[in-house]
Amino acid sequence: MERAEIIEKLMDVFADTFDEDQIDYRDDLTAADVADWDSLSNIRFMVAVEQAFGRKFTIGDWQGLKQLGDLVVLLGG
């Protein structure tokens, strides 16, 4: 899957999880940039990403992510 495809799919998951269609992708996007991104929504996002991409990540993988661009790289983009 190409980077642009990963980002598009990831942002669909993002929009569904956070009920937010107005957020544009940025590599440096973090939880601090999204009003409703709290610990519970973070877990929902993690599960939704794993389901959407058919991948399972370790807690260590998730903890190593500092911004959305890191997740894109982890997903292969």
- Kindly report, residue by residue over 8-18, the tens digit of the pLDDT: 999 999 999 98
Residue 21 has pLDDT above 90, yes or no: no
DSSP E strands in 1-74: the ranges are none
CB atoms under 10 Å from CB of 22, counted, come to 5
For residue 77, the model assigns a pLDDT of 79
Full residue range of the structural domain in which residue 32 is found? 3-74
Q: Indicate which CATH number applies to the domain containing 62.
A: 1.10.1200.10
Domain count within the chain: 1
Distance separating alpha carbons of residues 18 and 4, to the nearest angstrom: 21
pTM of full prediction above 0.95? no
Q: Per-residue pLDDT tens for 27-66?
A: 999 999 998 899 999 999 999 999 999 999 999 999 999 9
